[in-house]
Structure 1
Amino acid sequence: MSPPPEQGLPHETERLLATMVEADRTGAALVLDQILATGVPPERIIAEILDPALVKLGRLWGAESVSLTQTFVAAKIAEDVLVRCVPAAGSAAAHHSPVVIGNIEDDFHSLGRRIVGSFLRAAGWEVHDLGNDVLPEQFVDKALEVGAVVVGASAMMQTTALNIRKLRTLIDARGLQGRLKLAVGGAVFNWRPDLVAEVGGDGTAPNAAGVDALLHRLQAEARGAPAP
């Protein structure tokens, strides 16, 4: 069954959220068709319907009220919405730059990472998702393999977020400081923004919708960094 609607959420957000909780990808497409037919601009659909639905879904995931299967389908629904609402998606303007993402060692909270991956694919990134419990060596080795200049490490809690320091140490030890940028994300970084610097991150975004701009900035900085 769907959760009761959250007070203050627009009706369209509640409808989209219900399809996510019910793992109903076809139903979500119908909801989006109806919303688009009313003339709501795509940018408003992302900012005022999709993003609030994902925030609510994240709370349900944190409370263990939705399953892994539901979050997997929710990520696919988000990707479907983005493909239809992000102008660059699927177009010649898509840049296809590689990026490596994953949950840091000992972290298994996959929802945020899946949603970020969906946003990035829709925006034209070539996403290499390493999954959960990713070791620092795996992040760096994959980045070097695919030519990525940005890696994104996700963590839900402070205890696992501190493991990102190991990734920072490895990047520096391999002489990649400045040339391989470290984006960090997860709920804990919204609660404690100072943690970004503490774990050695080069930047974070407040939500999945802001990750594209963050990665573009970090990519530009990395490509402008001098060789050691």
Structure 2
Amino acid sequence: MQALIAELSRMIDEADREGANRLIDRWAATHGYQSALSEVLEPLLREVGERWEREDISLAQSFVAGKVAEDILNKALAAAPAGTLREVRGTVVLGNIEDDYHSLGRRMVGTFLRAAGWGVIDLGNDVPAVEFVDRAVEAGARVIGVSAMMLVTARGIRAVREELDRRGLSGRIMLAVGGAIFKVRPELVAEVGGDGTAENAIAAPALMESLRERSLRGEGQ
């Protein structure tokens, strides 16, 4: 298995998405795509995350890793009988804040979350604050993830915090924020009322798990 992970890692370095898919397809022909999620995808993403921490992988390479993960996940979902692939970590509501249309980062976050076993409700671009909270309440989600690319749109995330406060949901539903502007201005996380942010899409599952645990602890569960 380690040899397979090493070969996939090499293909990611070389941006060989098609080669990675062919290799996984051959493995899944014997073991199945559902097994590929736990036996191939999870260790691969763990290695990618460790390499990112060591600054041994580029943003472009992490993007390819995300696309390979998305490919595996989609094949596993297509091959699975209805109801056999269930999220085990809960649900996250994702979207770009109102007037923001930069979807790439959000979509990568969604891919890594699904690969890590989260249920993801992706509301898309230009999402009003009220809709984020409505969908989170409806789905029983413990975390809302809001993305914005630029300062002018990122400040609109404050409206999500205000809506959570207004309904008495702050602390029960956590607010994760992300996007390029938060790397440039990390103080913006607190300014818009965010409960946390991740360095990149690879780190998003760990952030969501941390926020979910904080939510549960706050209710004494």
Check conservation: 1:152, 1:184, Cα contact below 8 A.
yes
**Which residue number corresponds to residue 122 of structure 1?**
115
Q: What stretches of structure 2 of length at least 5 have no aligned partner?
A: 1-8, 27-42, 76-83
Indicate which of 132, 136, 139 corresponds to 2:132.
139
The DSSP-based 3-state class of the residue aligned with 1:128 is strand
Q: Deviations for 1:183-206, whole angstroms, at most 9, x for unmatched residues? A: 001111111110000000000010
**Which residue number corresponds to residue 200 of structure 1?**
193
Mapped partners of 1:199, 1:158: distance in 2: 11
Q: TM-score, normalised by structure 2?
A: 0.71
Identity %, equivalent residues: 49
The DSSP-based 3-state class of the residue aligned with 1:164 is helix
User: Taking structure 1 as reference, are residues 163 and 152 closer, same or farther at Cα in structure 2, changes over 3 Å only?
Assistant: same
**Which residue number corresponds to residue 30 of structure 1?**
22
1:211 aligned to 2:210?
no
Indicate which of 24, 44, 61 corresponds to 2:47.
44
The DSSP-based 3-state class of the residue aligned with 1:99 is strand
User: What code does the residue aligned with 2:70 have?
Assistant: E
**Which residue number corresponds to residue 174 of structure 1?**
167
**Which residue number corresponds to residue 110 of structure 1?**
103
Q: What stretches of structure 1 of length at least 5 have no aligned partner?
A: 1-9, 20-25, 35-40, 59-70, 85-90
Check conservation: 1:75, 1:114, Cα contact below 8 A.
no
The RMSD of aligned alpha carbons is 3.5
Mapped partners of 2:50, 2:108: distance in 1: 14
Aligned residues: 186
User: What code does the residue aligned with 1:205 have?
Assistant: A
Shift of residue 45, structure 1, vs aligned partner? 4.3
Check conservation: 2:97, 2:127, Cα contact below 8 A.
yes
The DSSP-based 3-state class of the residue aligned with 1:163 is helix
Mapped partners of 1:27, 1:11: distance in 2: 10
Mapped partners of 1:15, 1:179: distance in 2: 43
Mapped partners of 1:119, 1:178: distance in 2: 24
User: What code does the residue aligned with 1:98 have?
Assistant: T
**Greater share of residues in helix:** 2
Mapped partners of 1:211, 1:81: distance in 2: 19
The DSSP-based 3-state class of the residue aligned with 2:194 is coil
1:80 aligned to 2:71?
yes
1:187 aligned to 2:190?
no
**Which residue number corresponds to residue 15 of structure 1?**
14
The DSSP-based 3-state class of the residue aligned with 2:218 is coil
**Which residue number corresponds to residue 22 of structure 1?**
none
Shift of residue 217, structure 1, vs aligned partner? 1.1
User: Taking structure 1 as reference, are residues 147 and 132 closer, same or farther at Cα in structure 2, changes over 3 Å only?
Assistant: same
Q: Deviations for 1:109-164, whole angstroms, at most 9, x for unmatched residues? A: 00000000000000000100000001111100000000001100001111110000
Mapped partners of 1:57, 1:156: distance in 2: 21
Mapped partners of 1:212, 1:187: distance in 2: 18
Indicate which of 52, 56, 63 corresponds to 2:60.
56
